[in-house]
Amino acid sequence: IPTHIYADAKDASRAVAQEIADLIRQKQSEGKPCILGLATGSSPKTVYAELIRMHREEGLSFHNVVTFNLDEYYPMEPDSIQSYWRFMREQLFDHVDIPQGNYHVPDGTLRTDKVADFAKQYEAAIEAAGGLDFQLLGIGGNGHIGFNEPGSLINSHTRLMMLDNSTRAAASGDFGGLPKTPRKAITMGVASILGARRVVLLAWGERKAPVIRGAVEGNVTEVNPASYLQTHPNALFVIDEAAASELT
């Protein structure tokens, strides 16, 4: 997997935001929508901040942008403080001119017996929009992409996933302890992610160094779902020096 290493997350995020902005403008010049797959968590925050700056200072418009987020906790109310819907509004959507209705986040409020239908509709909506032009990813300490935890198959689609203990532990600070942390999430599948025409994965900090090494240099394995990106013809890892520190 091609890997670009930057001195820090800020430099790296600027480069990724520039690629996204170029894509949005190219689609605008063709009179087409730009279909983005987006991630939450700490890693993409600096990319979103840079996109907001470009909107304010460089006239970057999001009028033709349509987005599909990777995942949402389940169950989860959209206005809840930990919801990914709220995260996306606060970190990006409320600060740019993306039309309401153009952004999509999996629905954490559904009855359990409605989730499978919803998952099919979510994938169908991505297809109907023309497929993902660009997918932004973070990576879990256990190699998850979206919430495709270890054991997820390469042909998996959008579905309800049981969260790993390590994933719940990492999130527990936001939920006031492990017992209050959701056990499940709705996530796009590995196949949904690999279907994007371009995939860019972000990783910052030493904590991600071992899993980055496995994903880039190890075998393609369900033990480290990010390693599936080795099979993608147009994937890029954008990482800082700390996350690169175990690459040989």
In the list 12, 35, 39, 243, the residue contacting ligand F6R (rule: CB under 6 A) is 39
Q: 201: closest CA among 166, 164, 232?
A: 232
CA dist 96 and 7 (Å) reads 28
In the list 11, 30, 42, 178, the residue contacting ligand F6R (rule: CB under 6 A) is 42
Residues linked to residue 67 through DSSP beta bridges, in sequence order: 36, 103
What residue is closest to ligand F6R based on CB?
A: 138
Q: What is the nearest approach in angstroms of ligand F6R to the Cβ of residue 83?
A: 12
Q: What is the nearest approach in angstroms of ligand F6R to the Cβ of residue 35?
A: 17
Q: What is the nearest approach in angstroms of ligand F6R to the Cβ of residue 32?
A: 26
Q: Which of 57, 77, 149, 241 is catalytic?
A: 149
Largest Cα–Cα separation, the chain:
50
Residue 57 falls in the annotated catalytic set: no
C-alpha torsion angle, residues 123, 129, 132, 138 (rounded to 10)? -60
| CB of 62 or CB of 73, closer to ligand F6R | 73
CA dist 24 and 18 (Å) reads 10
Contact between 40 and ligand F6R per CB under 6 A = yes
Binding residues among 124-143 for ligand F6R as defined by CB under 6 A: 138-140
| CB of 61 or CB of 166, closer to ligand F6R | 166
- Listing from the earlier edge strand, what are the strands of the sheet with 199-203? 3-6, 235-240, 199-203, 134-137, 34-38, 65-69, 103-104
72: left (phi over 0), alpha (psi -120 to 50) or beta: beta
Residues 6+ apart with CB under 8 A from 97: 55, 61, 62, 63
CA dist 236 and 200 (Å) reads 5
Binding mask 204-243 for ligand F6R (x = CB under 6 A): ----------------------------------------
| CB of 64 or CB of 67, closer to ligand F6R | 67
| CB of 108 or CB of 140, closer to ligand F6R | 140
CA dist 115 and 97 (Å) reads 30
Contact between 164 and ligand F6R per CB under 6 A = no
C-alpha torsion angle, residues 139, 242, 220, 122 (rounded to 10)? 20
Contact between 86 and ligand F6R per CB under 6 A = no
| CB of 40 or CB of 181, closer to ligand F6R | 40
Contact between 144 and ligand F6R per CB under 6 A = yes
| Active site (catalytic) residues | 149
Contact footprint for ligand F6R (CB under 6 A): 39-43, 70-71, 138-140, 144-147
